[in-house]
């Protein structure tokens, strides 16, 4: 009788599974839904006034506090870059120029002060970790090339920013080409 009950319990558990597959499927479905649906607290910043056929999906900053600024864009005459920022965790620069990922990677290799590790690489994107040897400081940055309407734009995380992988993922996914009306 004990063996029959034990056997039935084992069969029942095997039939039901441990729930990991169902949880993974549910998580994948939620991620797919969140990737296609706009987030509640974001707004689309059109960069057409800066002669760029791009838009940036930014986190909305309704009230500034000690660690944030209102989201917006401003042109930096000194560097020839558009700076788009919303708080301390979202800051990118955009410039119209031909992207050169090979040159960036060579510059990272030549840097004698910091150690760089490439986390993700594609023909139009590099995500890298930047570490200082004496400190426990680790920052993540990205460099992305967006081609649109025969023009090329380089989108980068702000060099002075202290970003995590999640911050970088959010920023690199935020810039998109404007669709024709």
- pLDDT tens digits in sequence order for the chain, 181 residues long: 444 333 443 344 344 445 544 544 544 444 444 433 445 555 788 999 999 999 999 876 555 554 445 578 999 999 899 999 988 889 999 999 999 999 999 999 999 888 899 999 999 999 999 988 776 788 999 999 999 989 999 999 999 888 999 999 999 999 999 876 5
Question: Which of these, 134, 85, 138, 88, lies nearest to 113 by C-alpha position?
Answer: 134
Report the C-alpha gap between 179 and 176 in whole angstroms: 9
Say whether 15 sits in a helix, a strand or coil: helix
pTM of the model: 0.70
Report the C-alpha gap between 65 and 176 in whole angstroms: 28
CA 90 from chain center: how many Å? 9
Question: Which of these, 136, 137, 138, lies nearest to 119 by C-alpha position?
Answer: 138
């Amino acid at each position: 009788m004990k063996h029959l009950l034990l056997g039935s319990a084992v069969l029942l558990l095997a039939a039901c599974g441990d729930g990991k597959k169902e949880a993974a499927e549910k998580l994948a479905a939620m991620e797919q839904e969140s990737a296609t649906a706009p987030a509640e607290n974001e707004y689309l910043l059109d960069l057409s006034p800066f002669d760029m056929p791009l838009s940036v999906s930014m986190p909305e900053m309704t009230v500034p506090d000690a660690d944030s600024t209102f989201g917006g864009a401003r042109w930096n005459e000194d560097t020839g870059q558009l700076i788009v920022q919303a708080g301390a965790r979202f800051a990118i620069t955009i410039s119209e120029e031909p992207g050169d990922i090979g040159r960036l990677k060579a510059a990272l290799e030549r840097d004698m002060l910091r150690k760089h590790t490439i986390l993700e690489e594609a023909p139009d994107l590099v995500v890298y970790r930047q570490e200082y040897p004496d400190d426990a400081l680790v920052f993540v940055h990205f460099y992305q090339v967006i081609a649109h309407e025969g023009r090329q734009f380089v989108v980068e995380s702000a060099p002075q920013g202290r970003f995590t992988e999640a911050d970088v993922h959010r920023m690199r996914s935020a810039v998109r080409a404007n669709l024709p009306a």
